Chain A
């Protein structure tokens, strides 16, 4: 069965600190997709990144970077030089591919990040 674990429930940092959000997943499929979403206080989920299981290259987008390691089933997200606007709940999610997989997007329970000025 698919499962996504975000062990940290809440983190508080001071502006300009770096912070890493952990995500560990379980799946029996060899083809799958991983996602990160941001949920600011307004409530809407904002898509950040999608990664398929065949692409283990790390990605950097501005202050955001993602580290995907199949060997440890992890897809961690790092925010460099955090800002107050980064304060939000962050969700990691998993979607299996069609063959033998399901339509479902499985979410972790989310991690609340508070960045203090």
Chain B
């Protein structure tokens, strides 16, 4: 089945540690995205990538890093520089930028202890 997978579903991290969230898609989509969702809030864009080996900062990129070495994979690293990392993280992809629908993965809930 085609789709977007994110792992793990729940993640716990101690303060000061970096942690990497996985996002994989087998839809052959060019563009991939990372969003952050806080309680009672809409989604905010962290990073996006329109093509392999290229990515752009979104609205809240500080404290995060990404890579796009393969078309199907777009991992997000939450670094110790991120002040409030506890949130729900959603990955999305779409076939072509701008015009197509973004489809979302199941999300990863990150909690910093």
Interface on A for B, CB 8 Å cutoff?
Answer: 4, 9, 33, 35, 37, 42-47, 50, 91, 95-98, 101, 103-105, 107-110
Contacts and interface: CB of A to CB of B under 8 A. Distances in A.
A104 B106 contact: no
Interface of B: 31, 33, 40-43, 45, 48, 50, 56, 58-59, 88, 90, 92, 97-99, 101-107, 109
A22 to B, nearest CB: 15
With a 10 A CB-CB cut-off, give which of B33, B58, B101 has the most chain A CB atoms. B101
A103 B97 contact: yes
Contacts of A42: 106
Contacts of A103: 31, 48, 50, 56, 97-98
Contacts, number: 59
Contact of A45 (B48, B97, B98, B104): B104
Contacts of A46: 104
Nearest to A4: B42
With a 10 A CB-CB cut-off, give which of A45, A91, A109 has the most chain B CB atoms. A45
A43 B107 contact: yes
B55 to A, nearest CB: 11
